[in-house]
Chain A
Amino acid sequence: MDAVNILTTKGLTKAYGGIKANTDIDFALPRGKTMALIGPNGAGKSTFVGMLCGRIPATRGDVFFEGANINALPAHQRISLGIAYTFQITSVFAGLSLHENVALAARRRLGADVAAVNAKVADVLARVGLAERTDQIAGDLSYGHQRLLEIAMGLAQDPRLFILDEPTQGLADSEVEEFIALINTLAGETTILLIEHNMDVVMKTATHITVLDAGEVLAAGTPEEIRANAAVQAAYLGTSDA
């Protein structure tokens, strides 16, 4: 088992017909750290995490979680290993109460232990600040609150790896600040892989950054290293002669 990294990929590639969305991605995610995955629109970030958690089948390449190759596992089994995933486009159970939404996430692990499930639900809803809305129907929540509910559903699984796909998209500034605080309370508790456009969020939460551009890893390192990287600056500023 890889002591340093919780998840690694080797040569991970996704091709749609002749178009490659991801090309030979070698990636390592250090345990207990918060990694931000950044890159311009269309860089292949969502495709990449889709292949990690099994929503999108890889064309070739390998994914290792806790040292074991998980290529052959379907999505639900990867989730069962402790990979939680929140959707880029809010995807809650709109017709069910907040309590039931989070309980569904907790129940897969805690089973029929009603008391433990209820305690977990109360705990994570309090953590994201939705405790007093527990009986509301999820579909009635504002967009920002639905994003928080998504995060609560991830937390309820006590994940070993928590993948968040653009969690702050569409949030108000104050909500973004609360989100940053929330992620920082998780630091050390679990490993986080964050796809994020908001550089403020990235710089305030991430311990490591990987930059994707045109389906390939452009750079990887600490925030300081990435900030100083000329190729990254070029990709973001759009100059082609970097």
Chain B
Amino acid sequence: MTDSQRSQLLHLGVIALLFVAFFVLPTYHVGNLSRIMVLAVYAIGYNFLFGYTGLLSLGHALFFAAGMYGLGLSMELFDLTTAPALMVGLASALIVSAVIGFLALRTSGVSFMIVTLMFAQAGYLTILYFGSYTRGDEGFVIQQADRVLFGLDLSNDTARYFAALVLFSVCFLAVARLVQSPFGRTLVAIRENEERARMLGYNTVAHKLKAVVISGTIAGVAGAAYALLFGYAGATFATVQYSIFPLLWVLLGGAGTTIGPLIGVIFMFYLIDLSSDITSAYMLIAGVVLVLLTLFAPQGLAGELRKRVFKWMP
């Protein structure tokens, strides 16, 4: 079996596992998994830029929120139906990430982190400023009538789970394919040694801009899906916390691995869930575990697995 066949088997296996999980897991965990899969899409988008291109953004909440508000506001203010509103969500994330990418890529390294962080803060404050439309921190509920896509009522647990699974599978497989393509390989080359890639004749600036747009658009799709599936849009999702989350998920799961984002989200979700059963100071437990993982598994869970056991892992 070649490495690429193994990878494909792994990817299809993960999707099959998520499919079966719906039928065997208790309702509580099925509900969690719906949320986890949507957040994993967000992490997949983040990983594309951070793990494969080597660009650390602290402003992805802006792209997530662009998708979320693109969908939410177009329903709320212009009475768009579900499918067009979803398209508006996707388009707003695409446009926002193209503009931010164009501006922020004039910098690199730490400056890139700061600039993306500042843009995201500006975005968050903009949402608060236009509170009469966005209802600021309080946010607004997406009406149940607006949550019907192709005849499926997405407020229903089953429909929601499978909608999340379809979205996750599409993004998961598409990105896995993309990173193996010549374009994806060039991004890895830029991550490893940008000057060398440039002196092999690659337009590294254009490549990085494309990576920001792809990453931001996937993040935005996750934001739109989150609003649609869970029926709520609010400014909390635009805060810096939501820019840090995907970074943590990807670091924990394994940056630059295809399954790392999903593993990271599952791990973090249940780490907080289980530790809050034990004590109200659950962030203390979570914090200690995170520190330990960073110390002893610096490449993340999937990254360490790849290093130690499955060298073929994509």
Residues of chain A at the chain B interface (Cβ within 8 Å): 53, 55, 74-77, 79-80, 85, 87, 91-96, 100, 103-105, 107-109, 111-112, 153, 157
A35–B193 CA distance with the chains assembled, in angstroms? 29
Excluding A91-B196, A104-B189, 9 further A-B contacts by CB distance (< 8 Å) are A55-B199, A76-B198, A76-B201, A76-B202, A76-B204, A77-B203, A91-B193, A104-B197, A109-B201
Residue in A55, A76, A79, A109 with the greatest tally of chain B CB atoms within 10 Å: A76
Known: A104-B185, A104-B186, A107-B185. A93 touches B201 (CB 8 A): no
- Find out whether the CB atom of B192 lies under 8 angstroms from the CB atom of A93: yes
- Asked if B200 is at the interface of the complex by the 8 Å CB criterion, the answer is yes
Chain B proximity of A80: nearest CB distance (Å): 5
Chain A neighbourhood of B182, CB < 8 A: 107, 111-112
17 contacts between A and B (CB under 8 A): A53-B199, A79-B198, A79-B199, A79-B201, A87-B199, A91-B195, A93-B193, A94-B192, A96-B188, A96-B189, A100-B185, A103-B185, A104-B186, A107-B182, A107-B186, A157-B200, A157-B201
A182–B7 CA distance with the chains assembled, in angstroms? 39
Chain B neighbourhood of A94, CB < 8 A: 192-193
A153–B188 CA distance with the chains assembled, in angstroms? 16
- Find out whether the CB atom of A92 lies under 8 angstroms from the CB atom of B193: yes
Chain B neighbourhood of A111, CB < 8 A: 182
A108–B204 CA distance with the chains assembled, in angstroms? 12
Chain A proximity of B288: nearest CB distance (Å): 31
The residue of chain B having its C-beta at the shortest distance from the C-beta of A153 within the complex is B200
- Asked if B144 is at the interface of the complex by the 8 Å CB criterion, the answer is no
- Find out whether the CB atom of A93 lies under 8 angstroms from the CB atom of B189: yes
Chain B neighbourhood of A93, CB < 8 A: 189, 192-193, 196
- Asked if B107 is at the interface of the complex by the 8 Å CB criterion, the answer is no
- Asked if B181 is at the interface of the complex by the 8 Å CB criterion, the answer is yes
Chain B neighbourhood of A107, CB < 8 A: 182, 185-186
Chain B neighbourhood of A153, CB < 8 A: 200
> CB < 8 Å: which of B185, B188, B189, B199 contacts A75?
B199
Q: How many residues of B contact A (CB 8 A)?
A: 18
- Find out whether the CB atom of A75 lies under 8 angstroms from the CB atom of B200: no
Chain A proximity of B59: nearest CB distance (Å): 26
- Find out whether the CB atom of A108 lies under 8 angstroms from the CB atom of B199: no
- Find out whether the CB atom of A96 lies under 8 angstroms from the CB atom of B200: no
Residue in B188, B192, B199 with the greatest tally of chain A CB atoms within 10 Å: B199
Chain A neighbourhood of B193, CB < 8 A: 91-94
Chain B proximity of A151: nearest CB distance (Å): 13
Kindly count the residue-residue contacts between A and B in the assembled complex, taking CB atoms under 8 Å apart. Answer: 58
A92–B201 CA distance with the chains assembled, in angstroms? 14
Chain A proximity of B193: nearest CB distance (Å): 5
Chain B neighbourhood of A112, CB < 8 A: 181-182
A79–B203 CA distance with the chains assembled, in angstroms? 10
A92–B188 CA distance with the chains assembled, in angstroms? 13
A94–B188 CA distance with the chains assembled, in angstroms? 12
> CB < 8 Å: which of B192, B198, B200, B204 contacts A105?
B200
CB neighbors of A among B161-216 (8 A): 181-182, 185-186, 188-189, 192-193, 195-204
Chain A neighbourhood of B197, CB < 8 A: 104
Chain A neighbourhood of B186, CB < 8 A: 104, 107
Chain B neighbourhood of A91, CB < 8 A: 193, 195-196, 199
Chain A neighbourhood of B181, CB < 8 A: 112
Chain B neighbourhood of A75, CB < 8 A: 198-199
Chain B neighbourhood of A157, CB < 8 A: 200-201
A239–B190 CA distance with the chains assembled, in angstroms? 46
- Find out whether the CB atom of A87 lies under 8 angstroms from the CB atom of B196: yes
Which 6 residue pairs of A and B lie closest in terms of their CB atoms, listed nearest first? A79-B201, A93-B192, A80-B201, A108-B201, A91-B196, A76-B203
- Find out whether the CB atom of B200 lies under 8 angstroms from the CB atom of A104: yes
A53–B201 CA distance with the chains assembled, in angstroms? 10
A96–B193 CA distance with the chains assembled, in angstroms? 10
The residue of chain B having its C-beta at the shortest distance from the C-beta of A79 within the complex is B201
Chain A proximity of B200: nearest CB distance (Å): 5
CB neighbors of A among B229-244 (8 A): none
The residue of chain B having its C-beta at the shortest distance from the C-beta of A106 within the complex is B200
Chain A neighbourhood of B201, CB < 8 A: 76-77, 79-80, 108-109, 157
The residue of chain B having its C-beta at the shortest distance from the C-beta of A104 within the complex is B189
A85–B196 CA distance with the chains assembled, in angstroms? 10
A157–B196 CA distance with the chains assembled, in angstroms? 13
A80–B198 CA distance with the chains assembled, in angstroms? 10
The residue of chain B having its C-beta at the shortest distance from the C-beta of A156 within the complex is B200
The residue of chain B having its C-beta at the shortest distance from the C-beta of A117 within the complex is B182
The residue of chain A having its C-beta at the shortest distance from the C-beta of B197 within the complex is A104
Chain A proximity of B275: nearest CB distance (Å): 35
The residue of chain B having its C-beta at the shortest distance from the C-beta of A111 within the complex is B182
Residue in B195, B200, B203, B204 with the greatest tally of chain A CB atoms within 10 Å: B200
Chain B neighbourhood of A77, CB < 8 A: 201, 203
- Find out whether the CB atom of A79 lies under 8 angstroms from the CB atom of B196: no
